[in-house]
Structure 1
Amino acid sequence: MPAERDQSANPTGRQKSCARCVRSKRRCDLTQPSCLRCVRQHFTCSYPPRPTHNLTLVPEDDSPMPDGNIDSAASALDMSLIRGLQETPVNSRQDTCLLDFDLNAGLESVGFLHDLLNTSPMPEIEQREGSLVRSTHIRQARSTRLPQVKACEWELTPASYARISYAIDRMKEAPATMVLENQTPWSHPLLYEDCMPRVLQEAHATCALYLARNETNSAFFARHVIDRVKEVTSSPPPTAPVDILARAHALILYQVMQAFSGDLQLYAHVGPTFPHLEESIYALYTTLQEAEDPPYPALLSLYPAATAREVWCAFILRESSQRTLLTLCQFLVLLHLLQGRSYCVNHAAVTSKITTSAHLWHASSTIEFASAWNEKRHFLVADLDFTEVLEGAGPEDIDVFGRMILVTILGRDDMLGWFAERGGVF
């Protein structure tokens, strides 16, 4: 601990990073009066006293949020998808070195928004004696609470919309790719090769109807979708990992059709579906936490191919689960953002590890997968830290899912520049 920092402002004795570094999830060098990062970027550096961790009951605040323009709507998305809390109730990593998102003055609005929104309407995930439990009524103290979904008037500038439009466009395409290619950017084409659960079979058939809808059958299609969603949401939650994943995939597809079909009757059911997407986030997160990481070897033998086949199957299931968890978080944030609302996902839900390798994801056979595993670089991304990817990957390594996340985080222009600098086309 630096000599100039005593424990008078920190009674627990634990060193506290400055407020700016905590909010950006960056490692703070703890220099007084201003840390090096704040000096370099001309920020006001402050070391707040350690917040109280005791859980308290906080009444719901139904007062409207003050109107205001946000220079970059993606700033709110950064906060919701990446930053989470200054102190998170699960897997808190205050010094996790994520990418630095304080790249422009527009991100100053994130701190303002964080102060305005101070309660959480969604059930939070907390850790108790090593296991995850639900907390539906307890709200945390002000300094540790998630923002509540609140209505406000945000102006989506062209740059802001470009930052989120790529992910939205890929989500809009999901019903078509599911029907024509049996895949989405978050669901591997061979995931349900042996058996597709019925809940996804129904969603798959509904996607086919979605592609064939017209003025004549639009009313029938709307009733069909509404009935299917009611059927899914009224059924008991599944417990098997594959069934949990299939239910999440079905809900995403239904929500895409409800949100982007242009049918007002369907759009009216977007909001009521949010709690069920949140339940899928919790279920998938719990499943991934309880499952052991597959024993991935450094090299895979091409012959005999049994081990390579086993690793490939494990990769397909786990990677699809990890991508789906992150997609659910991103989708909820985007939908709330387009409705002029802020939404914050518990940080623990976006710490799932994902693999960045188009070669592994697009492999169509065991031998092709094993060859890509042995010969191509693949990057394991944790906490959405793409630093190693941006430094060591090439354009051919980034698949559609990776582009969805990176454009949302960095912006379209930066990704266009990154691809061009390396001789690729975005």
Structure 2
Amino acid sequence: MKFLPLKFREKQTDWFGQRGKNWHVTVCIYRDAQDTICHRTFTHVFDGGKQDWFSVISIIENVFNTIKDQLPQLTEVFLRSDNAACYHCGHMWLCLPEVSKRTGLNVKTYCYSEPQAGKSYCDSKNAHMKRKMRTWVTEGNDIVTATDMKSAIDATTGVTGCQVAVVTMDTDKQIVKSHRLKQINCFNEVVFQDNGILLRKAYAIGDGKFISNDELLKAGNGLQMSQQSGCKTLEGFTLPTVCEGKISRPQPTQTDLDTVYCCPEPGCTNTFPCYRDAEDHLALGTHNCQLVKESTYDNIKRQWARLCNEVVITYKVRTTTGSCTSQADGSRQMGWALRSARKGVRFNTKVKDFLQAKFMEGERNKKSDPLEVSYIMKTLRDDEGNKMFSHSEWLRPNQITSFFSRLSNKKIKRKTEAIDDEDLFVVLDAIDNDVLLNELSES
């Protein structure tokens, strides 16, 4: 983040064009020997530099070394940050395994939080340190450099659980410039394993995408192994009077104990002593639904469902020889319910002659109705009383409509071709010449 300089007596000209000082806050949450949740905050301030991935990875390595010195019992680290570009990038994923080897703290996972849901502890400690710096300024001091920020925070007893160091970044040590990892923004959880990394879109959901160490080496052009930290400490961390803070849930009061909150989900029997527990229960959705009383109608529906599940559907399959065999529903082939593709059917000569006769009859008199023609095909009989068309030769009205349309288009095309005759142009020229001669004779 950026911190704008503060002065006890500030001119109007000093207020414009200010350049903020970079400071990076890292909160370490852990359990002590008494199994109490504690936290320590490590703040790095520097006068200038880029807020890029190299600065972040250098600060993380410096924090790991400090944690290893102050809390040697810790061996594993679970990282969490927001989705800023300096955190959510492939360079971090390539360099973190080597940082783990150099510092002795094994990074297990790296999770990225949702918007407005990942910096609560950092923001709270920032508020404490900003209040301490404003108090320092009101006492007649100025904060214009990174050293002034450290002096203000460490003044008197310091801020509970907060340590500040003044550092600078040596960008000459940056070796990794680019990588070939794809779809970085699609993954929000990175699990570091001995043989590679596992990427997931959401925390602990799905099998994920695995990338082996060999693939990581190729993606980083083989340089991430030699990437060193560029963080140089100008003024180291100073332990405050209270070097660690405690994290504890507020104890419910007697009024809260007397009040019982019930889950509003129908059928859920859970009750909670405080409203916060009820909200957590609703957010997780782990309801304990129990049936108080079952009606007769519910019992009938359950019996009907059981009978329906026991029904075995059989159907007949006609073979090429014409015989039928029964098969159970479970033996059907995949795709039996899909809509089959339409196959083109050619009309035989008898059907074509009949349709052409009906079309010509409609041209001479009233146009034939396809629905009526379809009905005639099904009922028409010859002199001996036999049906002229079999069941396989019957046509639907839309088929007859399409056939009539094709005949009509052919008729129009023939007329057009008859007009486009070479002799026609000669006749037209002769007519034009006669008209011209008549006009000359009349004049």
Q: TM-score range by the shorter chain?
A: under 0.3
Of structures 1 and 2, the one scoring higher in RCO (CA 8 A, sep 6+) is 1
| TM-score between both structures, scaled by the size of structure 2 | 0.19
More helix by share: 1
More strand by share: 2
* Structure with bigger gyration radius: 2
